[in-house]
Amino acid sequence: MSAPVAIITGAARGIGRATAVELAKRGYRVALASRSTDDLHETARLAGGESIVVPVDITNPVEVDRLVAQALGAFGRIDLLVNNAGYAPLLTIDKLTVDEWRRAIDTNLSSAFYTTKAVWPTFARQKSGVIVNVSSLSSRDPFMGFSAYGAAKAGLNLFGLAIAREGEPIGVRVHTLALGAVETAMFRTIATEQQWPRERTLDPADVARVIASCATGELRYTSGEVIYLHKTV
């Protein structure tokens, strides 16, 4: 029961999957959250160790509360929350619908509020906890067509700073990673390898190691800050 526990959203593939594998290697028990049940089970298989799979719509606060309750029921504690769920519509303002705008804001920003609020009582009781928000360089320098995604991630950056200040008195740290291009299926819906070669993208495993460093305290002095991480060639 003393082994640390992490909740990872967007755990079905990409950064979330790599994070689950990395944390499991470091002795974490993991609660894996996403809409895709089959992919979550594959993540659990690759991670090994002790895990639970929780299919969930991260934009629904009722389902988020269920996710946290299941993690607590299975493991008895929560030490780390990784807000990794993302949705990135590439649409200029003339094509961006109200529904797409709301989905981008809900997935990238509102979901982090729901998860943070849900785990906060546990963190307060434990007098400890870590939150890692996965943001994007688009929060300060978006591609054309990333108005909704960039705005949501910029909001996530500020949310992380505000919550870090609230969390300091109870031993809670909050880290936000603003990532450049990462070699994921989501990124490849945006840019082909001809447009953005693989040598210019981050490996999800590299991102996972930075997330783990935030969790274990190696980067503890960056709580509240936005850590910009991108590949230069």
Positions annotated as catalytic residues are 149
Asked if residue 160 lies in contact with residue 227, where contact means CB atoms within 8 angstroms, the answer is: no
Among 162, 103, 157, residue whose Cα is nearest residue 133:
157
Of the CA atoms within 13 Å of residue 53, those in its CB half-sphere come to: 17
Of the CA atoms within 13 Å of residue 97, those in its CB half-sphere come to: 3
Distance CA 13, CA 28 (A): 18
Helix or strand holding residue 8 (H, E): strand 5-9
Say how many C-beta atoms besides its own lie within 10 A of residue 83's C-beta: 28
Asked if residue 96 lies in contact with residue 89, where contact means CB atoms within 8 angstroms, the answer is: yes
Q: Which residues pair with 32 in a beta bridge?
A: 8, 53
